[in-house]
Amino acid sequence: MAKYLLLIYQDETTLPASPEAFDAMADEYNAYTRTIATQGILRAGEALEPIAAATTVRVRDGKTLVTDGPFAETKEALGGFYMVECDDLDAALAAAAAIPGARLGSVEVRPIIPMPLPGAAS
């Protein structure tokens, strides 16, 4: 078993405008979340605030630089994520393909490197 982060990217201008359409999208995500929870692969997942709420931090020459917004100009922005634990990459890709946002945007699948937490028992 390995952990994967499923990063959901979508152009924020394509998000549902009406409350009814937004509720329908939320219902799809809730159903997806229940499905992967029932499958036993869900480890975490959250939606993110729009990119207008983002702040980027950089440290250059010992100085901290803080700017509003994401670090790069792009149409598709990170809107949420799921962390799953699957048997292999193919299973993680199948889980990513079932995310509702994959139909309008993209889902990046990133393997997680296992790292022990300081002070944690091994």
Q: CA-to-CA distance for 93 and 2, rounded, in angstroms? A: 13
The vertex-62 CA angle with 61 and 67, nearest 5°, equals: 85
Averaged pLDDT, 1-22: 92
pLDDT at 71: 59
pLDDT at 70: 65
Mean pLDDT score across all residues of the chain: 92
Q: CA-to-CA distance for 102 and 94, rounded, in angstroms? A: 11
Q: CA-to-CA distance for 47 and 14, rounded, in angstroms? A: 16
pLDDT at 97: 97
Averaged pLDDT, 20-36: 95
φ/ψ of 109, rounded to 5, equals: -105, 120
Q: Is the pTM of this model over 0.85?
A: yes
Contact status, residue 79 vs residue 48, Cβ threshold 8 Å? yes
At residue 59, the 3 state secondary structure works out as strand
What domains sit in the chain, N to C, each tagged with a CATH number? 2-47+75-111 (3.30.70.1060)
Contact status, residue 56 vs residue 69, Cβ threshold 8 Å? yes
pLDDT at 109: 98
Confidence of residue 83 (pLDDT cuts 50, 70, 90): very high
pLDDT digits (tens, 9 = 90+) for 39-76: 999 999 999 998 889 898 999 999 999 988 765 666 78
